[in-house]
Amino acid sequence: MDKPIFSIEMKVRDYECDAQGIVNNANYLHYFENTRHEFMTSVGISFKEAHEKGIDPVLSRADLHYKTPLTGDDVFISSLTVERKGAKIIFHQTIRRKSDNALCCQGNIEVAVLEHGRLSRGDYFDTMMSNYL
Protein backbone atom coordinates (compact mmCIF):
# COMPACT_ATOMS: atom_id res chain seq x y z
CA MET A 1 0.00 0.00 0.00
CA ASP A 2 1.18 3.52 -0.74
CA LYS A 3 1.53 5.95 2.14
CA PRO A 4 -1.82 5.93 3.96
CA ILE A 5 -4.06 8.95 3.56
CA PHE A 6 -6.01 8.12 6.72
CA SER A 7 -5.31 6.08 9.87
CA ILE A 8 -7.18 5.41 13.07
CA GLU A 9 -6.13 3.68 16.28
CA MET A 10 -8.40 1.01 17.73
CA LYS A 11 -8.26 -1.68 20.41
CA VAL A 12 -9.39 -5.30 20.29
CA ARG A 13 -12.30 -6.02 22.61
CA ASP A 14 -12.52 -9.38 24.35
CA TYR A 15 -15.81 -10.35 22.71
CA GLU A 16 -14.19 -10.06 19.26
CA CYS A 17 -11.94 -13.04 20.01
CA ASP A 18 -12.76 -16.66 19.35
CA ALA A 19 -12.10 -19.69 21.58
CA GLN A 20 -8.45 -19.67 20.48
CA GLY A 21 -8.03 -16.14 21.86
CA ILE A 22 -7.51 -14.51 18.46
CA VAL A 23 -9.71 -12.00 16.69
CA ASN A 24 -12.41 -13.75 14.69
CA ASN A 25 -11.84 -13.17 10.98
CA ALA A 26 -15.18 -11.41 10.44
CA ASN A 27 -14.20 -8.62 12.83
CA TYR A 28 -11.52 -7.40 10.44
CA LEU A 29 -14.35 -6.43 8.07
CA HIS A 30 -15.85 -4.38 10.91
CA TYR A 31 -12.50 -2.69 11.59
CA PHE A 32 -12.07 -1.87 7.91
CA GLU A 33 -15.64 -0.55 7.65
CA ASN A 34 -15.20 1.65 10.71
CA THR A 35 -12.00 3.06 9.19
CA ARG A 36 -13.75 3.85 5.88
CA HIS A 37 -16.63 5.53 7.70
CA GLU A 38 -14.30 7.63 9.84
CA PHE A 39 -12.34 8.62 6.72
CA MET A 40 -15.52 9.65 4.91
CA THR A 41 -16.63 11.68 7.92
CA SER A 42 -13.21 13.38 8.00
CA VAL A 43 -13.68 14.60 4.40
CA GLY A 44 -17.19 15.86 5.08
CA ILE A 45 -19.29 12.96 3.83
CA SER A 46 -22.35 12.11 5.89
CA PHE A 47 -23.82 8.71 5.07
CA LYS A 48 -27.14 9.83 6.48
CA GLU A 49 -27.25 12.95 4.27
CA ALA A 50 -26.12 10.97 1.23
CA HIS A 51 -28.83 8.37 1.87
CA GLU A 52 -31.45 11.10 2.22
CA LYS A 53 -30.39 12.25 -1.29
CA GLY A 54 -30.78 8.69 -2.56
CA ILE A 55 -27.02 8.05 -2.75
CA ASP A 56 -25.76 4.85 -1.12
CA PRO A 57 -22.25 3.38 -1.27
CA VAL A 58 -22.44 -0.41 -0.99
CA LEU A 59 -19.72 -2.99 -0.60
CA SER A 60 -19.41 -5.03 -3.78
CA ARG A 61 -16.26 -7.05 -3.05
CA ALA A 62 -13.85 -7.65 -0.18
CA ASP A 63 -10.52 -9.40 -0.65
CA LEU A 64 -8.77 -9.88 2.70
CA HIS A 65 -5.43 -11.48 3.46
CA TYR A 66 -4.80 -12.42 7.08
CA LYS A 67 -1.14 -12.27 8.12
CA THR A 68 -0.57 -12.07 11.90
CA PRO A 69 -3.46 -12.53 14.34
CA LEU A 70 -4.58 -9.85 16.73
CA THR A 71 -5.43 -10.99 20.25
CA GLY A 72 -7.37 -9.53 23.17
CA ASP A 73 -6.42 -5.97 24.21
CA ASP A 74 -4.08 -5.48 21.22
CA VAL A 75 -3.97 -1.88 20.05
CA PHE A 76 -3.76 -1.53 16.29
CA ILE A 77 -3.63 1.05 13.53
CA SER A 78 -6.10 0.71 10.67
CA SER A 79 -5.09 2.67 7.57
CA LEU A 80 -6.27 3.20 4.03
CA THR A 81 -5.64 4.64 0.61
CA VAL A 82 -8.33 5.08 -2.01
CA GLU A 83 -8.54 5.00 -5.79
CA ARG A 84 -11.17 5.16 -8.49
CA LYS A 85 -11.44 2.42 -11.14
CA GLY A 86 -14.32 3.04 -13.48
CA ALA A 87 -17.52 3.07 -11.45
CA LYS A 88 -15.83 1.47 -8.43
CA ILE A 89 -14.18 3.14 -5.47
CA ILE A 90 -11.43 0.88 -4.17
CA PHE A 91 -10.05 1.15 -0.66
CA HIS A 92 -6.67 -0.46 0.01
CA GLN A 93 -6.57 -1.10 3.73
CA THR A 94 -4.17 -2.46 6.30
CA ILE A 95 -4.24 -3.27 9.98
CA ARG A 96 -0.94 -3.23 11.90
CA ARG A 97 -0.42 -4.08 15.54
CA LYS A 98 0.85 -0.94 17.25
CA SER A 99 3.34 -2.62 19.60
CA ASP A 100 5.54 -4.10 16.86
CA ASN A 101 4.07 -2.76 13.58
CA ALA A 102 3.28 -6.34 12.49
CA LEU A 103 0.99 -6.53 9.46
CA CYS A 104 -2.13 -8.31 10.69
CA CYS A 105 -4.47 -7.97 7.74
CA GLN A 106 -4.54 -6.27 4.37
CA GLY A 107 -7.49 -5.94 2.10
CA ASN A 108 -8.90 -4.41 -1.02
CA ILE A 109 -12.47 -3.29 -0.58
CA GLU A 110 -14.52 -2.40 -3.67
CA VAL A 111 -17.48 -0.09 -3.25
CA ALA A 112 -20.21 0.59 -5.79
CA VAL A 113 -22.53 3.57 -5.55
CA LEU A 114 -26.27 3.36 -6.00
CA GLU A 115 -28.30 6.48 -6.77
CA HIS A 116 -32.00 5.94 -6.17
CA GLY A 117 -31.38 2.21 -6.35
CA ARG A 118 -29.49 2.25 -9.65
CA LEU A 119 -25.78 1.73 -10.18
CA SER A 120 -24.00 5.03 -10.81
CA ARG A 121 -20.49 6.39 -10.98
CA GLY A 122 -20.97 8.13 -7.63
CA ASP A 123 -19.65 11.55 -8.59
CA TYR A 124 -20.96 12.89 -5.27
CA PHE A 125 -18.12 11.09 -3.51
CA ASP A 126 -15.50 12.16 -6.09
CA THR A 127 -16.13 15.78 -5.24
CA MET A 128 -15.63 15.17 -1.54
CA MET A 129 -12.56 12.95 -2.01
CA SER A 130 -10.95 14.87 -4.87
CA ASN A 131 -7.71 15.41 -2.91
CA TYR A 132 -7.25 11.63 -2.59
CA LEU A 133 -8.40 10.15 -5.90
26, 96 contact by CB (below 8 A): no
SS3 at position 81: strand
Q: How far, in Å, CA of 26 to CA of 71, rounded?
A: 14
Active-site residue, from 18, 63, 73, 123: 18
Q: How many residues does the chain have?
A: 133
Asked if 126 is an active-site residue, the reply is: no
Q: Which residue in 96, 101, 90 sits closest to 132, CA to CA?
A: 90
Just list the catalytic residues: 18
